[in-house]
Amino acid sequence: MEITLRSLHVTLVALLVSTLIGVPLGAWLALGRVPLRRLALALIYTGMGLPPVVVGLFVYILFSRSGPFGSLAWLFSLRAMIVAQTILALPMVAGITMSSIQSVDPALRPQLRALGATRWQVVRTIAVEARFGILLGVMAGFGAIISEVGAVMLVGGNIEGRTRVLTTAIVLETRRGHFALALALGAILLSLSFLTNSLIMLGQGGGRWRR
């Protein structure tokens, strides 16, 4: 139970940060005048396929005592895990937000302008039009990081009662040969993912499954 809550804690904080940064970033990439836009896109798309273990290694080196942020003593804490997962989720959220905003009817902008909408109102209306795509981006980010093990294992250290989350506990129990327990933890992880996605879907459908 404690492990499940910790998994949720790390993933949701990371997802919240990614959403707060990623959605505006995606909107800006889609609508704003972005210098070196192609390069930014290439970076975002590369980021969507980042190998978690590489991100883990990178964050490990950053927060290692002999690394640039070593004095924070964040290594082997939830904070380092959140940083790693934010790096993993951010490109997903930003990239999918961007493409869904881009796919909103391009004629909408001049129309809104003609109707006298302010710049901010235009952006908001387009974002509302693209809300399902943005939601999909957030969900994709959630799915990627709740199930991720490489990065959190490396920077969290799988410390019992401190940084052990569902995925690292599954690795440990498998290593110990406790396949049944590992499988049970896997089932919890899956149901967690299903539950969270269902809640979002229900929220979107106004409390109904049908729509």
Binding site for another protein (CB under 8 A): 2, 5-10, 12-13, 15-16, 19, 64-67, 70-79, 128, 131, 134-135, 138, 157-163, 172, 174-181, 196, 199-200, 203-204, 206
Q: Which is nearer to another protein, 116 or 177 (CB)?
A: 177
Structure token digits, residue 162: 């401190």
Residue 67 CB, shortest distance to another protein, in Å, is 8
Tokens 């993993």: give the residue. Answer: 88
* Beta carbons of 159 and 62 less than 8 angstroms apart: no
Residue 39 CB, shortest distance to another protein, in Å, is 30
* Beta carbons of 165 and 10 less than 8 angstroms apart: yes
Residue 131 CB, shortest distance to another protein, in Å, is 5
Residue 92 CB, shortest distance to another protein, in Å, is 15
Q: Which is nearer to another protein, 102 or 174 (CB)?
A: 174
- How far is residue 198's CA from residue 28's CA, in Å, rounded to a whole number? 29
- How far is residue 207's CA from residue 15's CA, in Å, rounded to a whole number? 23
Q: Which is nearer to another protein, 42 or 195 (CB)?
A: 195
Radius of gyration of the chain (CA): 20
If you ran DSSP here, which 8-state letter would residue 51 be given? -
